[in-house]
Amino acid sequence: MAATVTVNDVLDGHVALDIECLDRIYLNGYVPTLQTGGAVVSFLTAHLDYQIPSPAIFEKIGTAFRRAVASFAEDNHIPVVRFGKNDRKIEVMRPFLARQAATCRAGVAAIGVAQEFAPVFTATKKQRGNTVWFSFAVSQRRVTCYYFYLWLRHEVARCEWLRVGGRLMPET
């Protein structure tokens, strides 16, 4: 019987990652246990402690997140920039990054907001007699994505942007 060979075994000694300057970080939150409709129902009921796994819960979560971002920006005097459909994000944000760099302090230079297509869970209301339930399935919808443009002062790393987004339900 042959021994199991992993990708690491194959690549060992053949691939190296050498970073001299890191200028972008793309962070995309991934929760492996939330990749099926049943897992979403479990998240809403067991984790968040709601009796009914309603899509209205996602609106509450999304609204709270958007308010937190707006409050963070306002409290810290951070500009919020809405990107147009054909905008090159880095070109729009370059002046904000330059202004933050001129302070010689690490910080959030600006927050960009864009509408982009992403896979989300959508709900379908089902009813049999007086019993109502929701079925969750993945579909592509426009969602709001937030780009946090950071200036990090470090000898090795300079991060220009960090994307935060991903919603379980599209905005209404």
Could you say which DSSP state residue 161 is in? Answer: -
Number of domains in the chain: 1
Kindly state whether residue 88 falls inside one of the protein's structural domains. Answer: yes
CA distance 63 to 67: 6
Kindly state whether residue 3 falls inside one of the protein's structural domains. Answer: no
CA distance 16 to 22: 16
Full residue range of the structural domain in which residue 92 is found = 19-164
Amino acid type, 64? A
Give tens-digit pLDDT for 87-125.
998 899 999 988 988 888 888 899 999 988 888 888 889
Kindly state whether residue 99 falls inside one of the protein's structural domains. Answer: yes
Count of C-beta atoms within a 10 Å radius of residue 74: 10
Q: At a CB cut-off of 8 Å and minimum separation 6, what does 54 contact?
A: 44, 123, 134
pTM: 0.70
